[in-house]
Every structure is written in structure tokens, then in C-alpha cells.
Amino acid sequence: MKLRRVVVVVAVAGLGLVGGLGAGPAAGAEVQVKPKASSAAGPTAVNDACRQSVGWFTATGMNGRAALFSTRPPTIVASEQSWQVLPVKASANWYTSPIDGSFWEYGNVISGSALYYAEIFWAHADPTQPSIGTRRIGGGWDRFTQIQTSNYRDQQGETHNPMFGTLYGLRDDGVLYRWVTKAGRTARPESYPGFSAVKAMTLISTTATYDTLLATLRGGSLYTIRIPVASPMKPIVKAVRTSTWQGFESLVATRCGTQSTLLTGIDRDTGSAYMYAVGHANGLSTPIQSLGKVPYAFSNPVNHTFGGANGVVDNLFGE
């Protein structure tokens, strides 16, 4: 099958390299920001809640997904359908794209020592049996533990062409890399050391001037990592919480409202997942509300989130 949608294609040249993440003061208070209040008994009604699509890859490369809702406790509609893509070590956020009655899901993954573009395509003529497509982008990715893509688009959105696309990769020595693609050309990678304590990270902001990653540290802290678009790459880190977040090996984030984030933390050791409503990030003053445990066992080793159609409706603004 001919591949038609590319999130970020990078020509990986040599991977080249202070700052870092330190402890902050006491954690801020947990306060309610979502979901909308409900007078009915039980969880908030699903149609009042924000929706989050969580995907996963099994150890053999089977791909599945589920819809989560920010009720309290969280509500889930799990899909047991799965399709074999690749054995995946790490996955960036994926995107969905309905076009002319057909439907794509696509994203970047690491398989073995290589970075791939992968897609699942449902043709309008046969929506029950998708076609799977993969394309190898480049090698040298065996030491990378996490990747994320940011595709900022202006809100006109008619052409679905990104103003620019960015790929972030975290190497096992704590060096964070960035590749930026504009008009089909990928600039030489930039890097910044000091992130060896990061355990999990997810994207919460995609703007014209900066991206923001939200990361858990092995010691239990929760941090924002703001990365200005300007070169040279120079991240700005802020503590959001200083303890209790070390149990999550995966973070999945989705925009909720105009500037809030629906966040799910997944503990791969137990298969447990917990959902949080996070207000606009502002260091230790960031409001966070626990919505409770997700009633589903996330036993698969790699998790990721889905953006909206072509990413246009899902420019993130969590910080």
C-alpha cells in the first residue's frame, strides 16, 4: 500500500550534545478543575466529559485502542480489536485522519534499532479489514527510550499541512534531541543534556513559539519541560509536583477545554491507570484533580495517545 500520510519524516544524521531537572519546593494543592459538576448520583455523565483515546502496542506489535472519559470515576469504552503493525519499543503520539470516506491512524514508532512511520488504513469500501503500512525512516535509534511528535498547525486547517513538524527523542543517557521539519526539509538535530531522571513524558502544548512536555522523574517529581521553537534548543524546566508520581511508566495527555489537560498515568508493573484533570500549567501552583482509577488493565508495554483529525483540532495549550 502506498503511504500517504507522514507525521514527521526525519533524515537522521549523526546524533550529536547543561542544565537539568532538580528538586523543587513543596507540592501545590490539589484542586478541582474538571469534569463538569453533576447533580446525579454516580459518575459525571459521559456527554459532559472530555474524551481521551489511548492506544497501545503489545510485545508482538499488536495495536489496540480505547476511549476514556473524564467522569468521576473515569469511564472507558475499550476496543478489543487489534492489528499487527510492528514489535514496538517506543511510540510517539498518533494522529487520525478521515478523508473521502476512508480513515487513517498514523504515527512514528521505534522498532528494534530503527525509527518507522506506521499507519493503519481503513478503506471506505471495506471498513472492517484495514491495511497496514510501515516505512523505515532511519537507524541509530536503539538507545532511544521515548519519542514524541509535535505538529503545530494554524487554525485555518483547510489544507491540513503543518506549519512545521517536530520530533523529540530521549536517549538513555538523558540527552533530549529535536528534529524540525519545514516544507519537507529536516534541519540538523539539536540536543540538550540533563534529562536522565525522566521516566515518562508526554506532550501537553503545541504552539507557534514553543512546545511543552510533561514528565515524571524516577524520584517521584512531575515537571514541565518548555522547549522554545527558537534555536539553539534551550529547554525551561519547572516543578509541578515533587513526589508520588514515580509509579507511572507511561503518560497520555489530551487537551480538555481551552487550556487544560486530561492526563492518564499508567503503571505497567500492575496494569493500573489513573486519570487526572490538570489545569493550565503554572509550576507548583498548577491545579490537579485526581478523577480515580481507570477500570481497565493496561498490561501492554507501550502506550500512546491519538490527536484529532490531522492534529488541527488538537493544538495543545496545557502550559
How do residues 231-285 score in pLDDT, each as one tens digit? 999 999 999 999 999 999 999 999 998 889 999 999 999 999 999 999 999 999 9
Q: Which residues pair with 253 in a beta bridge?
A: 263
pLDDT at 158: 40
Question: In the prediction, which pLDDT does 108 show?
Answer: 94
Q: Which pLDDT value is given to residue 253?
A: 95
Highest mean pLDDT among 129-133, 139-143, 151-155: 139-143
3-state secondary structure of 229: coil
Pairing of strands 90-91, 94-99: unpaired
> HSE of 298 in the Cβ direction (CA atoms, 13 Å)?
31
Fold of the domain spanning 49-314: Neuraminidase (2.120.10)
Q: What mean pLDDT do residues 47-54 have?
A: 80
DSSP annotation of 40 reads: S
Q: Residue with C-alpha cell 510492528?
A: 86
Where along the chain do its domains lie? Answer: 49-314
Question: For residue 1, is pLDDT > 60?
Answer: no
Whole-structure pTM value:
0.83
Q: Which three cell numbers stand for residue 175?
A: 540527552
Strand-strand pairing, 302-309 and 250-256: unpaired
pLDDT by residue (tens digit) across 161-170? 445 689 999 9
Higher-confidence residue of 106 and 147: namely 147
